[in-house]
Structure 1
């Protein structure tokens, strides 16, 4: 019983790691392939390091000057940048209702610059003075939080907590996009031009450069050289590609994926070695019985099945025990993600099939050897 108990425990653990590794792999693949609602490809963000009393003027000057650098196809600025974790929030009030929302200043073209889709209304326009005074864009989550339809949102006026005397008019609604990671839900966000609110002008802290994909390395070198000579000599060149920064949020889960795979292989190997050792011992003890049954005409197939049947039952029971345990633990792990796969059935079925096949394969090797015993050796005293 003790030996059977130890083997059962090993198989329960093996089943859990097979199930877990498949679910982790599916969740990581789901996150890697999910449409984030924007594109940060070939966008290099350079942070301002040097203190500047009027950073928005610095940005506007650089925007004009850096267009001349070969390999730069577009330039913009956004306070709310996917993956960098920087954001501000405030209450947004409409009549007697108030919600908490993120708010971010930006240049006119920023949301188009990162390929966010416009759902309703229009973009901010540099030719309209009102677009630097009181007009804003919001995301779908903002509209849903207030319980408006898109048409109602474009007609309503709300007041931001950071500038309560001001009326904000929504002129456009953009599709939701993820600014943090897939563990968090998309929050309501208000977007407006950095000149719209006096103190926001002083928060301009970066310039973002879209680079021609045909010469990324060469363009980055030219940007760095220009920056260190003409913009902030003596300061570190603090830059990164937006898509790579956001991808860092997946590293933790990719490591978990690798760890599960390695542990799965190790635990499975230990279980199979234990299974082989135990089956060898138990079959050795039944060799006389095998010899008698073979003498009475039992076929090799019947003998092999008879010897493996007990181990197949142990495996079946172990997997049945592991299923509720695995379901609970993996469901708790998936709860960490705002965007996750539904609990799949396939890993549980595969765990049963894989372990039954491996058990049969390992035990049947020893069982087949047992059918080749020397009958005279075991029957000469009978």
Structure 2
């Protein structure tokens, strides 16, 4: 019987290939979208779950609000791990990780470039599930300077030779590391990635007892029955006990006094929340991280795409009921019962879904490279061959069959056989009302996505064109110039002599992209005020960056040593209480030698030196150039300058490539996640409206067929093609217009929520709604108009001669 249903269903699909082609294409786009987004979402949700104890692991983080400064850091103080392990019975293990920068490796006199290196406690491999495949698998880090390296690094440095017992040199620190183990490469769905993990035994920073310096990522393993909230409730007392005495010594204020006007403390973050739920500053994170909002957005898009495709199936199938009415009548007269007819129509839906699924897999394979580029993933086609994913795909096919096929099956099987044989079916009434509602739903999603895409584009344009307080165009950043050692000054001199270069500044501090960061405590009259960021610059920094000096003067070689002089931004002048009268005023900075008086010689206009997600913060410029170069080009074409710089760099340091970035591109990269979201939204907005228009095209086709004779009569009586097109279009365009009443308020609410993530943002203007409406109506009218014009241009004699 099942075989007969499938055979008959296939014949009906072939017979009505026009209708089913639209159904299959729509379903294929929906299924392909679901597959792609499902793999993306599963990948995002899988971060750090490879760890066997992941559900019991937490990271200790630091949050505070001090005199208006919002402090959110993923690193905490060196002694925190051991103290929490000792004081909290719920903690079974505690371990630390510290990231090291600019690590240059050498083995047997051969240079092997820079690699990611982290210092970890000896028990690190007992906490994280990172399999050691060679060497000491139990206690690989129980001696100072012992190191476990990744499988990839081992292959790169040692090839087929056994690396165990060999010595790697970190040349920039003259540090000898002894290889005790080789681990499998850290999975890509980890919130950290390192090629070398070095023991903290012998690492000076790890021995500190200060609760006033944050350097370590700290992780705890809790007992199985431990509640995170209950453990976290004990942290304030531990913080007060250990930080209080040191706070009095450091800032001259007791912990109780400090907490009256401020809020400071440690908190726990579940390990599996780190990737998607972190809001820490980039300088204190190990990865850029994802965003749970985008997981929700893309999941919703996948569901909507699938629902829209299923709606198309229902609409087109029920709209073609007039063609199937005689078939239903004959089947019922010949003895078919309602259940048999339902099974028959479900069989057709099943076959259509199977074909659509095969086509979807082809579309998935073709679109993987583009999607990986946009989403920053490495999804492979073979991923879908995982038995779990294949089973999920079959489950999806079943759901679609039931979802898309049930209503048409019950609807068509309910026809009265006598009326069906007499073709007394017009497609109007209750069925028509349901189809209209489904069309409105489709275009609610389509119009909403179009409006969302326009809002994202507008915000990105605003960011790109906003006055940042500096001129980001034609700036080239040369990184890590300290690698040139004694030749650094010669390299800078050669750049200054290049006629294509307008100006050069010696600094590793840039307002976009990767930058050095220095934070210091500031005091007034010996009393702690708050932490502020410091930029180490030279006298050419302000003119090269195109910043505005509002008061006072710039640094100058004419004044000799200016280590006790600073230039501040307007925000710092406001917080220090100097307002517009800051020149000559002094305050103190906390240094290794104690509090040091510094004098303000200039005030610069506020500039956005962090992401536009954040408000402008106080900034202090001090004269202490090192580590990098920023040059302003006289020409927009920097390729020639970069080529010259590369040649000169290789003369001084042939071992390492020139590391550079164009500041404007670094600025754009800061908002790469938002730009990618905008692009993906655009693609899915296009796909949803394509699928919706496929259904609209089919509905117009059947409407034109049902009104075939009416159109012929109207043409004979003098109606023009334009009038007939308007006649067939108006009802559908009304439905599209009605969808705006639902789509626009909903999309406005959601996009306004998204914009709240930006401290500097647009206001959603009325013209964006008009643009979204025009685009949606235009595409819908084009879809309707093509078929309507064809129907209106048909010879009326053909429609009337059968009467």
Query: Is structure 2 residue 599 aligned with structure 1 residue 177?
Result: no
User: What residue is the counterpart of 2:629 in the other structure?
Assistant: 207
User: What residue is the counterpart of 2:646 in the other structure?
Assistant: 224
Q: CA, structure 1 residues 137+15, in 2 after alignment: closer, same or farther (shift >3 Å)?
A: same
Q: Report the alpha carbon displacement of residue 189 of structure 1 after superposing the two structures with TM.
A: 0.5
User: What residue is the counterpart of 2:747 in the other structure?
Assistant: 326
Q: CA, structure 1 residues 65+318, in 2 after alignment: closer, same or farther (shift >3 Å)?
A: closer
Conserved? CA contact 1:303–1:371, under 8 Å = no
Query: Is structure 2 residue 552 aligned with structure 1 residue 121?
Result: yes
1:132-161 C-alpha deviation (Å, 9 max, x unpaired)? 14211001221233454211x225322223
Q: Report the alpha carbon displacement of residue 250 of structure 1 after superposing the two structures with TM.
A: 4.1
User: What residue is the counterpart of 2:458 in the other structure?
Assistant: 26
Conserved? CA contact 1:138–1:189, under 8 Å = yes
Conserved? CA contact 1:178–1:186, under 8 Å = yes
User: What residue is the counterpart of 1:352 in the other structure?
Assistant: 773
Query: Is structure 2 residue 621 aligned with structure 1 residue 191?
Result: yes
Matched residues in 2 for 1:304 and 1:245: separation? 52
User: What residue is the counterpart of 1:165 in the other structure?
Assistant: 595
Tell me the TM-score normalized by structure 1: 0.80
Tell me the TM-score normalized by structure 2: 0.41
Conserved? CA contact 1:42–1:211, under 8 Å = yes
Q: CA, structure 1 residues 371+128, in 2 after alignment: closer, same or farther (shift >3 Å)?
A: closer
Matched residues in 2 for 1:82 and 1:312: separation? 49
Matched residues in 2 for 1:371 and 1:50: separation? 76
Aligned residue pairs total 365
Q: CA, structure 1 residues 379+234, in 2 after alignment: closer, same or farther (shift >3 Å)?
A: closer
Q: Which one is further off, 346-355 or 365-374? A: 365-374
Q: Report the alpha carbon displacement of residue 306 of structure 1 after superposing the two structures with TM.
A: 4.7
User: What residue is the counterpart of 1:108 in the other structure?
Assistant: 539
Matched residues in 1 for 2:700 and 2:634: separation? 64
Matched residues in 1 for 2:580 and 2:458: separation? 35
1:56-113 C-alpha deviation (Å, 9 max, x unpaired)? x875565456645665554321242122243122332235672332101111221122
> Within 5 A, what are the aligned runs for 1:61-140?
63-64=492-493, 67=496, 71-83=500-512, 84-95=514-525, 98-129=529-560, 132-140=562-570
Structure 2 residue corresponding to 1:236, chosen from 657, 670, 694: 657
1:158-200 C-alpha deviation (Å, 9 max, x unpaired)? 2223465211211111112222333333221100111xxxxxx
Q: Report the alpha carbon displacement of residue 19 of structure 1 after superposing the two structures with TM.
A: 1.0
Conserved? CA contact 1:44–1:211, under 8 Å = no
Matched residues in 2 for 1:235 and 1:372: separation? 73
Q: CA, structure 1 residues 11+209, in 2 after alignment: closer, same or farther (shift >3 Å)?
A: closer
Matched residues in 2 for 1:361 and 1:237: separation? 53
User: What residue is the counterpart of 2:685 in the other structure?
Assistant: 264
Structure 1 residue corresponding to 2:476, chosen from 34, 43, 47: 43
SS in structure 2 of the partner of residue 86 of structure 1: coil
SS in structure 1 of the partner of residue 557 of structure 2: coil
Conserved? CA contact 1:136–1:170, under 8 Å = yes
Q: CA RMSD in A?
A: 3.4
User: What residue is the counterpart of 1:16 in the other structure?
Assistant: 448
Q: CA, structure 1 residues 82+279, in 2 after alignment: closer, same or farther (shift >3 Å)?
A: same
SS in structure 1 of the partner of residue 740 of structure 2: helix
Matched residues in 1 for 2:553 and 2:437: separation? 68
Matched residues in 2 for 1:327 and 1:264: separation? 16
Conserved? CA contact 2:476–2:660, under 8 Å = no
SS in structure 1 of the partner of residue 752 of structure 2: helix
Conserved? CA contact 2:447–2:743, under 8 Å = yes
Higher relative contact order (CA 8 A, sep 6+): 1
Q: CA, structure 1 residues 85+328, in 2 after alignment: closer, same or farther (shift >3 Å)?
A: farther
1:328-380 C-alpha deviation (Å, 9 max, x unpaired)? 22212222222221112112123233433444454355455269674796698
Query: Is structure 2 residue 669 aligned with structure 1 residue 248?
Result: yes
